[in-house]
Amino acid sequence: MTDLSDSRPSIVDLAEAIQNHTETISDYLSQNSLPELSSLSDGYPFFPGTGPPHLDRYPKPPQKVLDARTQAREACESLMQLITGPADQYFYYITQHLNSVALQYLYRFRIAESVPLNERCTFQDAATKAGVDAGQCTRVLRMAMTSGYFQEPTVGYVAHTAGSMLLLDPNLRDAAGYVVEESLPASGKTVEAILKWPQVEETNETAWNLAHGSDLPMFQFFESHPARMERFMGAMRMMSEGEGYDIKHLVNGFDWKALGEGLVVDVGGSFGHCSYSIADTAPKLSFVVQDLEKVIRTAKTERINDRHGERVKFEAHDFFEPQPIRNADVYLLRFICHDYSDKYAAKILANIVSAMGPKSKILIVDGVLPPPGTLTKAEERKLRILDMNMLISFNGGERDVEGWMSLFKRADSRLGLRHMWTPPDSALSLMELDLAQGESVVSPT
């Protein structure tokens, strides 16, 4: 088989690799009677078995098939680049924002809802239903079609594809809305923000602040804009549904039962989804979910089908104030530190340190950037997208091991990283910190 570690594979090498990997994939699909891969409206939304278990009815494929998929994607991307050539590639690279503009239009005018399911309609009918100009709507839809969102089965008609149907899912719609209405306007202000505030540490001196005309950090601003907060939460739910961000990694990746009747403080725990999931597997543990006042108020009113009663409590607490719960067994911070520059992430940690007892731990669940060159382009791109979004919105960012160590030192010199590990298939690592002196064990898997 072609060795793709060669840094200059020819287009024929790449095509051969694609042939080999796609045969492995195709054999697997047909031998297991799995759906054919299709981007049409009846296409299955996931590569079978790689979606979140509650949405994807097929079993996870064997590692050999997953590897073939990764390699095929990598080879396709390289082949596409070579065949396109740097100059044409450059044109597409510098005009990528126009895809986002098309998405912004589709989102705002609810075009996906205006196209019937499983049948075609005229562009005019879709536009009339959405209450927009037919000519503009046609132009935007035809732009989106070049990326596989919607199709024109007959001239003048529009129909859904597997991709455009995703816009009908509430969480995926929220994710698109957050991207095109919060992040996209902010993206265009990134350089302006850096020129205005070169220190890049403050949470309210960001591209998002310039774009949205607010002096408040994004989450504080959302407190008085509940619909935008709700939308952000939907986007977070969508992320958590992806394999890499599944809460199961947090639940299975730590020995919660060993804490017995202990107490976990879920700092910035939102509506308590992490605590609820852990509570399901560790029946003796108690939890306090802390978040901003309005989030906690909503969380309390939305405790639908809550089986955990008194075991999961909610408390309004600003993590920039001293932590009121002393001597908890675990202070959990999932997806918190990457939202902040070291200056603020260190404050959050320092506030917890002053409440910790000798047996308390901080458990950070966040990304850890691997050394350059160790990921495929697709994997690296996913991390970089998250990193850029943190920069634009919060002046936060993803950290590598050195970045995390330097943050812990800045928070409190007594704080020691005891373990760092990444559960299989998880995009997030777990970092266990305590105040005991001793050797750190940093293991990437």
Question: Given the rule CB under 6 A, which residues bind ligand SAM?
Answer: 219, 236, 240, 268-270, 274, 291-292, 295, 318-320, 334-336, 339
Q: List for the chain the helix, strand, coil content (%; round to 5).
A: 50, 10, 40
Report CA Rg, the chain.
Answer: 24
Query: What's the min distance (Å) between Cβ of 292 and ligand SAM?
Result: 5
Query: What's the min distance (Å) between Cβ of 40 and ligand SAM?
Result: 34
- 308 catalytic per annotation: no
Query: What's the min distance (Å) between Cβ of 216 and ligand SAM?
Result: 11
Between 21 and 273, CB nearer to ligand SAM? 273
Long-range contacts of 153-156 (CB under 8 A, 24+ apart): 153/120, 154/120, 156/122, 156/123
Between 47 and 271, CB nearer to ligand SAM? 271
Do residues 237 and 303 make contact, with C-beta atoms less than 8 angstroms apart? Answer: no
Q: Is 352 helix (H, G, I), strand (E, B) or coil?
A: helix
What is each CA distance from 51 to 46, 60, 105, 114, in whole angstroms? 6, 9, 27, 27
Backbone torsion region of residue 416, taken as left when φ is above 0, otherwise alpha when ψ lies between -120 and 50, otherwise beta: beta
Residues forming beta bridges with residue 334, ordered by sequence position: 365
CA atoms within 13 A on the CB side of 286: 11
Annotated active-site residue in 21, 160, 317, 338 = 338
Q: Is 375 exposed, middle or buried (0-12, 13-18, 19+ CB in 10 A)?
A: middle
What's the rounded Cα separation, in Å, for the pair 128 and 136?
A: 12
Query: What's the min distance (Å) between Cβ of 126 and ligand SAM?
Result: 35
Do residues 414 and 421 make contact, with C-beta atoms less than 8 angstroms apart? Answer: no
Query: What's the min distance (Å) between Cβ of 313 and ligand SAM?
Result: 15
What's the rounded Cα separation, in Å, for the pair 419 and 134?
A: 58
Q: Which residue is nearest to ligand SAM (CB)?
A: 268
Between 105 and 232, CB nearer to ligand SAM? 232
Could you give the maximum distance between any two Cα atoms of the chain, in Å? Answer: 71
Q: Is 399 helix (H, G, I), strand (E, B) or coil?
A: strand
Q: Is 91 helix (H, G, I), strand (E, B) or coil?
A: helix
Residues forming beta bridges with residue 289, ordered by sequence position: 266, 314
Q: Is 281 helix (H, G, I), strand (E, B) or coil?
A: helix
Catalytic residue ranges: 338
